[in-house]
Amino acid sequence: MRKQFAFPARVLEPIKQYLVGKQKKLEKRKEKLSKEDPFQDPDRLSDNAASDTDAAEQFGHARVSAMKEEIDKTLINIRKALTRIKIGSYGLCEQCGKMIDTDRLAIKPTASYCVKCKRQKVGLKS
What is the DSSP track for 66-79? HHHHHHHHHHHHHH
Does residue 1 carry a pLDDT above 50? no
**Model pTM?**
0.79
* In the chain, where the domains are located: 1-89, 91-126
Q: pLDDT tens across 61-115, in order?
A: 888 889 999 999 999 999 999 999 999 999 999 999 999 999 999 999 999 999 9
Q: What average pLDDT does the segment 12-28 reach?
A: 96
Helix pair 9-36, 51-87: axis angle to 10 deg: 160
- Exposure of 111 by Cβ count < 10 A (0-12 exposed, 13-18 middle, 19+ buried)? buried
The residue among 58 and 13 whose pLDDT is bigger is: 13
∠87-91-92 over CA atoms, to 5°? 85
Of the CA atoms within 13 Å of residue 104, those in its CB half-sphere come to 16
